[in-house]
Amino acid sequence: MLSNQQLKGFQQQLQQTKQQLKERLHDSGDFDLRRSMEDSTGELSSYDNHPGDQGTELYEREKDLALSEHYRDEIHDIERALTAIEAGEYGKCEVCSKEIPLERLNAIPTTTFCVEHTPSRETSDNRPIEEEVLGPPFGRFNLDGRKESVAFDAEDSWQEVASFGTSETPSDFAYPPSDYEDMYIESDENIGYVEDYENFVGVDIYGKDITVYPNSQYQELKEELFEENIQTPFGDLPQYEHDPYVEEDKK
């Protein structure tokens, strides 16, 4: 049990810390969050700013938000501890009602939990439940790992947006693309199809009437196969199928 002198000492310490946090929030104008980002940076407009400058300003804004939230959470914990002191419950765990060691209270005066039941001990890795019902591109970021998946996922959505221009330069890539308009990750990835031949070979609704459309990719593949003297990118095809693709039903 904590003595009256110890409780009074913790109460004074908590009240003093609470006052200091409130003064910091007031003096900083709530970390300048009461004004818009343009006003806080002195810019009339951010339209002509470089994306790198915009990124720096956004980072600073996010940092201010995090600091403001941290201060407010700290004040909330202090008020919770002060309420426990007034109720005569300070120094006891809210969950199991066991005595909280004095060493723990000295290190974290705002705590009202023992080590075993502290909420900050476990870090949740649960994803939002909405992801279970939302389809691509909102449900999952990358579906490349799924076999035969050609769905338009969030990664494809980013690539589509990045194709209109990013702040990347050739120096940002180990193997920079040949075209300056392709300065984004996996810019050479096929969009809407997997294999190159799917972009120039088509069939009817029944899978018949194979038609080859002689576009630029068809010509490139044709020249590549001619130079390598092979029939397909994975080698020559056998003259006949040794094993059928679909096993016939045994009667």
What is the rounded CA–CA span in Å between residue 178 and residue 210?
33
pLDDT at 61: 84
pLDDT at 196: 72
Look at the alpha carbons of 84, 87, 90, 93 in this order and tell me if their dihedral is positive or negative: negative
What are the φ/ψ torsions at residue 62 (nearest 5 degrees)? Answer: -65, -35
pTM (2 d.p.) = 0.46
pLDDT at 77: 93
Give tens-digit pLDDT for 206-250. 888 888 888 887 888 888 888 888 877 766 666 655 555 555 555
pLDDT at 20: 93
What is the rounded CA–CA span in Å between residue 64 and residue 31?
6
* Residue in the structure block whose two tokens are 């914990």: 77
> Which of 113, 52, 128 shows the shortest CA–CA distance to 81?
113
Helix/strand/coil for 80: helix
pLDDT at 103: 93
> Which of 109, 71, 74, 107 shows the shortest CA–CA distance to 90?
109
Those residues with Cβ within 8 angstroms of residue 115's Cβ, 6 or more apart along the chain or in another chain: 104, 121
* Residue in the structure block whose two tokens are 């002509």: 48
pLDDT at 101: 92
pLDDT at 111: 92
pLDDT at 18: 94
pLDDT at 16: 95
What is the rounded CA–CA span in Å between residue 81 and residue 72?
14
Structure tokens at 105: 């209270």
pLDDT at 112: 92
What are the φ/ψ torsions at residue 212 (nearest 5 degrees)? Answer: -105, 125
What are the φ/ψ torsions at residue 2 (nearest 5 degrees)? Answer: -80, 140
pLDDT at 137: 55
pLDDT at 121: 66
pLDDT at 244: 54
pLDDT at 191: 66
In the predicted model, residues of the chain with pLDDT beneath 50 are: none
Helix/strand/coil for 142: coil
Q: Do residues 64 and 7 make contact, with C-beta atoms less than 8 angstroms apart?
A: no
Structure tokens at 120: 């900050």
